[in-house]
A and B are shown apart, each in its own frame.
Chain A
Amino acid sequence: MFLSRIVLRDLNSIDSPASMASSKKVVTRDEWERKLRDVKIRKEDMNRLVMNFLVTEGFVDAADKFRIESGTQPEIDLATITDRMEVKRAVQSGNVQEAIEKINDLNPTILDTNPQLYFHLQQQKLIELIRVGKINEALEFAQEELAPRGEENQTFLEEIEKTVALLVFEDVKNCPYGELLDVSQRLKTASEVNAAILTSQSHEKDPKLPSLLKMLKWTQNQLDEKAAYPRINDFTTDALEDPSI
């Protein structure tokens, strides 16, 4: 009799709701915001992050304005950004030859030491010729310029085949490799060019801001396993969403 009463009491305490939910720590919005307020970030660091983003992505005018208004020094000479942006713009407009000449003026070793980039630029050139319907010129170019790339390096053969296949189809846009004619292809090539130029200038090719956001996402995922807290689900609005209990 006596024993069973004790046992029942013990069972009761195990079943109570408060202790059931104690596996995860809960942080209320007030607590959270208070903790956040205690974290000190320097304005200069934020400015440098913004400048790094503008410079890496190549927004020259914005970077210059930002330099004047915030007093933050750009990490690289803005003049070199201008050059880089001209190249990028040329590729994005489909003026590949102009882009090649500008890269060579900027630094003639880039294309000599980046066979894949050089190949992609020539591939883009061929795509542009096909796009405007200059079929004969395209055929000649494919034979004189693209075929040798394939001979020099077998890994390019597959890409060459895809691109040359475009010449076969009447309705190019809807053929199997039609995506090569998309703007996205130009942007891809432009991005590759941008990265190569940045690397040649000893600049990191990726801005730091995305890494920070990745870190934030990862940290939240890790924390999710241990606590319920106000999350940021939309990085653009930075809205804190109340923890679900």
Chain B
Amino acid sequence: MPATARGGARPEEASPAPSASTSASSCMGTRPEELTARLAAAGPAPGSGCGGAGAGGEEVEHERVRALREIKNQIIGNRTKKLLYLRLGAVPSVVAALAEPGASPAALVQAAAAAGSFACGVEDGARAVLAAGALEHLTRLLAHPDEKVVDASARALRMIYQSRLAPKFDVNSGKNMDFVLSLLDSENENVTELAAAIISHSCESSAEQLSLCSAGVPQKLVSLFGGSMNIRDACLGSVTAVIRNNRDVASRFASTDHGKGFHSVVGLIHDRSPRTRLLACLCLIALGHASPCHFQDKQIKTKLIMVLLELIEEPGHVGDEAPLALTTLIKDSFELQKQALTTNAVEKLSNHLLANPLETRRAVTILLALSELCSKLEESRSQLMSVEVSTLLLEALKHDWADIRIAACSCLKNISRSPKVLSGGRLSCDTVIGPLVQLLNDSSTSVQVAALGAICNIAVNLTPRKSVLLHSGVVSQLVHLSKSMDPMLRLKSVWALRNIMFLLSPKDKDFIVKELTLSTLSSLICDSEHFVQEQTLALVHNLVDGYVDSANYVIGEDGMVMDAIARQLNNASAPGVCIQGMYVLANIAAGNELNKEAVMNVLLPHRVDHIKPSFVVNFLQSKDKQLRVATLWCLLNLIYPKCEASSGRVVRLQNAGVILQVKSMRNDPFLDCKLRVCMVLEHCMDNADDCFM
């Protein structure tokens, strides 16, 4: 201890005495192990039929209450302590106290509070509490004569139902629905809030939402909007849950009682309380997504944007979540993104971003909102790219928080949809590609996926200046990721390679193929996921585009790649895969005789049995017009230009019934098909020495 005096009363402070309760509890023993043991040993409550009533029994009960209270006070707010008590097996004893027939109200209140706290925010806690049977006991206690017990039980149940582990509360059963309705009718606010929590929890399936709607629950919830702030907010949340993604329920809500419910919610977007405003916005957004026809009013949409932009200035949770609500509102909507632009959303959000530290949830949500704002509008992208924001984005790419890195990549992905925004200035492809390539090595898969998304778009925009990409070392990283166990990483890395391959010079194409290797290419064509197969074939499509020699990649080396393509085409793969496959063949067929023959061998392989018709005929009969067109292009390239070999091919196609099929397509509804059909038939006539029928 240092010599200088510390502590002791100072005139300006009010009594600095240490807490009285620490000395009291140290007498009792506050070590978790002790408390758990004491609680377990407390045994049945006095007067529960085991004899021992009187002073001895009361003392035991008193002990139990103190132990429960101490445990409760240690665990509330404290995740570490909750986990500790869980490991010590305290939960069953706590829940058992709820089941005691002779338990005093004091014990019940403490036990309920402790049980609720275990379930709050700790999944294992919720699991243990549920396993111990707390749900039934607490539900039974809702009818207890002592109001404090009812309060405690209602709060505990609410905590439990907010956990995703809580069991389904089957609202399809009449009895259960009546129970919920009775809770909604209660005078006790804690009970009503519980009802709202149960409703929010029971809206997973559309059948459940429909049951709740038919029982008039949404209207009941709306009628509670006039209650206290917490009730109102809870009910708003429940209404949102009931209507979410359910067109039927949403439109019924919007039109019942001449739209009374709808108008009530609209009124609440201007409420005094910021949290209420946010919840009301979320409700309307859900309504708009579920039932767009009830949400045509442009005025309301504009108001929503403005209210949300204001809410971003609120401190705490509301301000953190408001940008996310905005993102949901404007997602995929050109009209709303335009509307947001006119209200200066980009500028306002950028200013907020620059004014606050990056390691906050708010920065993440704002970045995501900015990203969405740039997803369709060129003007938003240019507006965003100020010097300050560009610098910040570069910084964000290297940030400690994965969420920030992901959000920054998302921004870059959408910004690079612009042909010109990244072509100069502070944030050019050159400055950005380095950090993005680094992120391909990130420890988090989500970051890698996000970085790949950005690289995909940048690659498109770099045509024809792709040397900067190729020198960045991105190709070897992409090749590495194309062999990943994660299908999403495979997909996006192949996609990026596809985009890079587009209109590339032969020398650069060669470089990429050498890195990737033909055997990897072949296995990717036969990947377990059809979307990876499709992207790979699109990559090959770009590879064999334009230069005759590039077809050698496919046909050469024992035709490894060609075999893979043939296998996929013969295996009734997904339409997208077949379309890309046919375009690859079409491009190869545009080459020399060797190429055309190679394609013919795929279309009409020399088979021992000729029972199975060529997939060509199936493709031509496909409902998918893109597939029909791609196949026709392939055929066209095979029989043009006119020469002896071409005539030979016509005959072979005719023998396989292909030409007959084409003839039947003279009146194809798709104009592009119709045109190609005509061209094919024309060339067939050209090639034929004799007329044919």
Contact = CB atoms under 8 A, between A and B. Distances in A.
B229 A135 contact: no
Contacts of A128: 16, 18-19
A133 B1 contact: yes
A115 B76 CA distance: 10
Contact of B6 (A118, A145, A172): A172
Interface residues of A, number: 40
A111 B16 contact: no
B200 to A, nearest CB: 16
Interface string A174-193: 00000000010000000000
Interface string B1-39: 110101110001111111111100000000000000000
A171 B230 CA distance: 46
Contact of B116 (A100, A108, A183): A108
Interface string B136-150: 000000000000000
B528 interface: no
A94 B15 contact: yes
B80 interface: yes
- Do most interface residues of chain B lie in helix, strand or loop, or is the interface mixed? loop
A113 B233 CA distance: 16
B12 A183 contact: yes
A161 interface: no
A170 B5 CA distance: 9
A92 B14 contact: yes
Nearest to A170: B2
A34 B229 CA distance: 41
Nearest to A90: B19
B77 A131 contact: no
A172 B8 CA distance: 13
B79 interface: yes
A95 interface: yes
B120 interface: yes
A202 interface: yes
B159 A104 contact: no
A65 B144 CA distance: 35
Given A93-B15, A97-B22, A133-B1, A118 B229 contact: no
Contact of B77 (A118, A135, A202): A118
B117 interface: yes
Contacts of A221: none
B155 A108 contact: yes
B87 to A, nearest CB: 14
Given A108-B116, A133-B1, A202-B231, A95 B7 contact: no
Nearest to B82: A112
B299 interface: no
Contacts of B22: 97
A112 B159 contact: yes
A134 B20 contact: no
A233 interface: no
A45 interface: no
A188 B373 CA distance: 39
A109 interface: yes
Contacts of A155: 359-360
Contact of A112 (B4, B21, B120, B273): B120
B117 A108 contact: yes
Nearest to A148: B80
B20 A98 contact: yes
B113 interface: yes
Among A97, A115, A172, chain B packs the most CB atoms within 10 A around the CB of: A97
B186 interface: no
Among A95, A108, A155, chain B packs the most CB atoms within 10 A around the CB of: A108
Contacts of B573: none
Contacts of B116: 108-109, 112
Contacts of A129: 18
Interface in A81-131: 92-98, 100-101, 104, 107-109, 111-115, 118, 128-129, 131
B492 interface: no
B563 to A, nearest CB: 53
B231 A148 contact: no
Contacts of B231: 202
A132 interface: yes
Contact of A133 (B6, B21, B79): B6
Contacts of A203: 229
Given A94-B16, A95-B19, A118-B78, A108 B113 contact: yes
A96 B159 CA distance: 25
Contacts of A170: 2, 4
Nearest to B148: A105
B569 to A, nearest CB: 53
Contacts of A104: 72-73, 76, 113
B16 A112 contact: no
B398 to A, nearest CB: 18
A45 to B, nearest CB: 17
Among A111, A152, A200, chain B packs the most CB atoms within 10 A around the CB of: A111
Nearest to B117: A112
Given A133-B6, A170-B2, A148 B78 contact: yes
Nearest to B233: A202
Interface string B215-253: 000000000000011110000000000000000000000
Contact of B79 (A92, A93, A132, A152): A152
Nearest to B116: A108
Given A108-B72, A112-B159, A171 B4 contact: yes
Contacts of A133: 1, 6-8
A202 B228 contact: yes
Contacts of A132: 7-8, 16, 18
Contact of A131 (B16, B19, B73, B78): B16
Interface string B339-367: 00000000000000000000110000000
A143 B351 CA distance: 40
B575 interface: no
Interface in A42-85: none
B546 interface: no
B18 to A, nearest CB: 6
B6 A113 contact: no
Contacts of B576: none
A100 B73 contact: yes
B121 interface: yes
Contacts of B18: 128-129, 132, 134
Contacts of A154: 359
A148 B79 contact: yes
Interface string B104-123: 00000000010011001100
B1 A112 contact: no
A196 B118 CA distance: 21
Contacts of B189: 202
Contacts of B4: 170-171
A131 B18 CA distance: 10
A164 B19 CA distance: 20
A107 B6 CA distance: 36
A204 B274 CA distance: 11
A97 B273 CA distance: 32
A115 B273 CA distance: 21
Contacts of B152: 108
Given A132-B7, A133-B7, A107 B155 contact: yes
Interface string B145-171: 000000010010011000000000000
- 7 closest Cβ pairs, A-B complex: A118-B77, A202-B228, A133-B7, A111-B77, A148-B80, A108-B113, A132-B7
Interface of A: 92-98, 100-101, 104, 107-109, 111-115, 118, 128-129, 131-135, 145, 148, 151-152, 154-155, 170-172, 183, 200, 202-204
9 contacts: A95-B17, A100-B76, A104-B76, A112-B77, A118-B76, A118-B77, A172-B6, A200-B230, A202-B228
Given A101-B69, A109-B158, A170-B4, 12 more contacts: A94-B15, A94-B16, A95-B17, A96-B19, A107-B155, A108-B152, A118-B78, A129-B18, A132-B16, A134-B7, A135-B1, A171-B4
